[in-house]
Structure 1
């Protein structure tokens, strides 16, 4: 099969823009690992199956599936037939899934009581970090944001109203082009996400650009760049470790805030379609994966 001409730099720029930055970087990393272990584009179905089998004992099933997708896309973009569609590769992945299982680790859902406890603990830190972490936790929970969405919030995309704030996320996992807008109402309690956000913006002097930024051990903002998505998990784990225990922190991740909102909202009887409007989920089946069993008396509101 004759190779087709390579696309121009301009075409490459737009095709890359079709993917979320994190997705593009992860595909690039997948291909780098494949090549580092003898793989090439194009490759054969046998070579791909051997690659998958060689890492079945050391990599998660979800990671291997992601690698297959990355290799599949790379072949199609280069004009080659994809070996991922071959029956040998499909059977190999089926065998790995059956042998290793595909159960995902379910992170702890941080619900209202957890959030209050974490914020109280976060507020015991140095002033700047206390304000940032409290705002990050409360806004992340109230907005049901993914960790990548939370760190992508920019000051200029926040609209203030008398009864709350509207936050526009320019690009989300499911809304790559038009983004998603979330409204966070003011709360009567002392742990109001809107007041926490206002306090952080004022104390940090954040007048434009990324809202949540790195802070060093001297309690100083180190740059105008945003926190990384991984930093959200580190903040939550750190605060949880101090508020509860190091063992409890192991089950907490960046998705714990989003899952916590879904769980809390469902427990107080918020309609599924209303929860989906806030979270941006496109199907109730996907939303259901975020809701954890919660046995306690219903709470009047999320705050």
Structure 2
């Protein structure tokens, strides 16, 4: 009798487990892997033809993820979803945006792409965060196929498109922009000079005394080779000449930092 009862209990437990597995397999929500996979594919494919067509391969190389996803409403075959997306800015685009005067004297097309697809989003150091992404999902009866629909703006696709367009056009825009080269040289010099000044200000006075003459001679040689920074306020220098001076000053300052052991020599293998 006891053995029979045990068998009945075991069968009941197996039925519960199987039933639970069946329900979970068919209970798709907005964060389900199948839905997310379909969503990412949809975002990438919709980005390609937004304006000037960009390569789908370029788009697919841009890293992004959905951070928080909430199922707002669910019926038998439909989901209403809300999420947050986090899109990594490719390193070359990050450098381009750092130096290129895209809202000033830059290329009109680049400015338009930027304003339409990227400018309104909050930017961190390496990511663009989209805090309000809404999408609807229709699930086929076989539970294996989904169709993504956007009730509002396709913000992820637009951001992917903007980043991909800049990535494919950055080199051309840089080559065509003397202002880009000047701004890049200025910023890189400022960063190197600031690092050297911080190092110097933190030295003990007795060390400064020992290094003072060497530092003075280094500055003299640098200004002789490159041209002095203080002369750049003169109107007689063209933008190209200013760029050359800042580039040379930056290179020599970086070399000084390497000599002092503050940075690694990038040319050293």
TM over 0.5: no
| Rg (Cα) greater in structure | 2
> Which protein has the bigger strand share?
2
Give TM-score scaled by structure 1 length. 0.25
Give TM-score scaled by structure 2 length. 0.27
